[in-house]
């Protein structure tokens, strides 16, 4: 999945990070971005990065984020953690589904396991069938595919997140306010009717 391009600043080549791909409009995934990838990342107009590793973000990368006004969300998951920490993945998923953070790049070291698990959980939220979720995971993990990751994705409970999303949607679209306004109007009508009877 990775692109191999000789980096030569004078050629002005744009080099995507290892294992780079678009997940969907406004969501990208990759391995760890190197300085050679910064020009390419600038073309994405990223608003945020979801970093799935526990190691500190390199100074050079932090400067790139600052100069491009990109927010960093770090979810420190160890590379060989088994099983994946469900709470941490859920927190990352909440950041990922929030469109205010888009365009967003998800990455770990190689863009395979931790990134693959997060994208797999996103696909479950999107109601993908599990065989398609596994196929996408394996496309990026290749021979390094982990049964524990596939089991994690399959067993990941998205119900809590869906309830959270519905709540946000109702608030965002003003349904909660309309309901309160209707109750208020109804109370006023009842009061007016009672006053008319007196």
Mapped onto helix, strand or coil, the DSSP state of residue 134 is helix
| Domain boundaries along the sequence of the chain | 9-157, 158-198
User: pLDDT tens for residues 122-146?
Assistant: 998 888 988 888 888 888 887 777 7
Return the H-helix or E-strand segment holding 6: none
Is the domain spanning 9-157 CATH 3.90.190.10? The answer is yes
Q: Is 53 an active-site residue?
A: no
Mapped onto helix, strand or coil, the DSSP state of residue 33 is coil
User: pLDDT tens for residues 2-17?
Assistant: 444 444 444 678 899 9
Distances in Å between the Cα of 12 and the Cα atoms of 7, 97, 167 are 8, 33, 46
- The catalytic residue among 108, 121, 129, 164 is 108
pTM of the model: 0.73
Mapped onto helix, strand or coil, the DSSP state of residue 73 is strand
User: pLDDT tens for residues 61-106?
Assistant: 999 999 999 999 999 877 676 677 788 888 888 888 888 899 999 9
Tell whether the model's pLDDT for residue 175 goes beyond 70.
no
């Amino acid at each position: 999945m990775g692109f191999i391009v000789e980096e030569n600043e004078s050629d002005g080549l744009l080099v995507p990070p290892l294992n780079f791909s678009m997940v969907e409009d406004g969501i990208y995934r990759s391995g760890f971005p190197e300085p050679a990838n910064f020009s390419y990342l600038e073309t994405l107009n990223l608003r945020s990065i979801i970093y799935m590793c526990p190691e500190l973000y390199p100074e050079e990368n932090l400067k790139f984020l600052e100069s491009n006004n990109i927010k960093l969300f770090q979810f420190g998951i160890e590379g060989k953690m088994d099983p994946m920490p469900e709470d941490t993945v859920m927190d990352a998923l909440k950041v990922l589904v929030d469109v205010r953070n888009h365009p967003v790049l998800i990455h770990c070291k190689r863009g395979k396991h931790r990134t693959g698990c997060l994208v797999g959980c996103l696909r479950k939220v999107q109601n993908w069938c599990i065989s398609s979720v596994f196929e996408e995971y394996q496309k990026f993990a290749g021979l390094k595919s982990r049964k524990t990751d596939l089991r994690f994705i399959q067993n990941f409970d998205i119900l809590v997140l869906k309830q959270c999303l519905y709540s946000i949607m109702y608030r965002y679209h003003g349904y909660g306010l309309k309901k309160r306004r209707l109750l208020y109007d109804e109370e006023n009508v009842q009061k007016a009717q009672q006053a008319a009877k007196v």
